[in-house]
Amino acid sequence: MEKLVSLVRRCADDYHMLAPGDRVAVGLSGGKDSLALLALLAELRRYHPSRFGLQAVTIDMGLGMDYGPVAEFCRQLEVPYTRVETQIAPIIFEHRQEKNPCSMCAKMRRGALSQTLVELGCNKAALGHHFDDAVETFFLSLFYEGRISCFQPVTDLDRSGIVQIRPMLYISERALESFAQRQNLPVVHNPCPADKHTKRQEVKQLVAQLSAQYPALKERVFGAMQRLPLPQWAPQGRYRRPPSPMA
């Protein structure tokens, strides 16, 4: 855990993600990424100079998922936990029967999360995007939108006053999978009908194929985003070489 916590701190410090007085909410879906993020931030808060507060929030989409183990996990970490019940999934899949449900789902979840964070007095939302997510999003934007783009490490949501941060950008998906297994994180199975049938999954498979031929592909794309840089991707300090996918 120590190595991953150090990478979270390095990313948070490079992009000035944490400040004194912050109350940070982790959007806890029950997947390995968000659970790992909560565990790492819970450890980091013990000694980070900002002394930030931590809150966990689950937006229950109405898919019948059991979040009991997640609530117990939060209790063990001494992190307050809030679960918000919604009917997002029935609205999208039954009533609207969306052909491309992911975009609508993401917007509705973001709206519900932002409203909840305002009610809880949180000023920042920590999202579980990692190193591989950033590279795949870059290719998604390039292939399907014709843009050189990616989500930003820090995003200011003007309407709600919430700032989104992504502290795991220096950690690979492989490292998170290993961490989840070692720590026996209470991962909740996602029964979403669209899971694993998305453009993102297609790009993930393509990047994996290209990486087999060009082993340094991900590091070079990630480094290019920092060096060009894409908006807000330049580390605010001296340039730091991004981590290896094995990190």
pLDDT bucket at 198, cuts 50 / 70 / 90: confident
Tell me the three-class secondary structure of the chain, residue by residue. CHHHHHHHHHHHHHCCCCCCCCEEEEECCCCHHHHHHHHHHHHHCCCCCCCCEEEEEEEECCCCCCCHHHHHHHHHHCCCEEEEECCHHHHHHHHCCCCCHHHHHHHHHHHHHHHHHHHHCCCEEECCCEHHHHHHHHHHHHHHHCCCCCCCCEEEECCCCEEEECCECCCCHHHHHHHHHHHCCCCCCCCCCCCCCCHHHHHHHHHHHHHHHCCCHHHHHHHHHHHCCCCCCCCCCCCCCCCCCCC
pLDDT at 121: 93
Maximum distance among all Cα pairs of the chain, rounded to whole angstroms = 51
pLDDT at 93: 76
139-147: average pLDDT: 93
Instruction: Note the pLDDT tens digit of each residue in 3-35.
Output: 999 999 999 999 999 999 999 999 998 999 999
pLDDT bucket at 186, cuts 50 / 70 / 90: very high
Instruction: Note the pLDDT tens digit of each residue in 47-93.
Output: 999 999 999 999 988 888 899 999 999 999 999 999 998 878 778 77
pLDDT at 247: 53
pLDDT bucket at 99, cuts 50 / 70 / 90: low
pLDDT bucket at 140, cuts 50 / 70 / 90: very high
Task: Report percent pLDDT > 70 for the chain.
Answer: 91
204-208: average pLDDT: 94
Partnered with residue 81 across adjacent β-strands are: 56
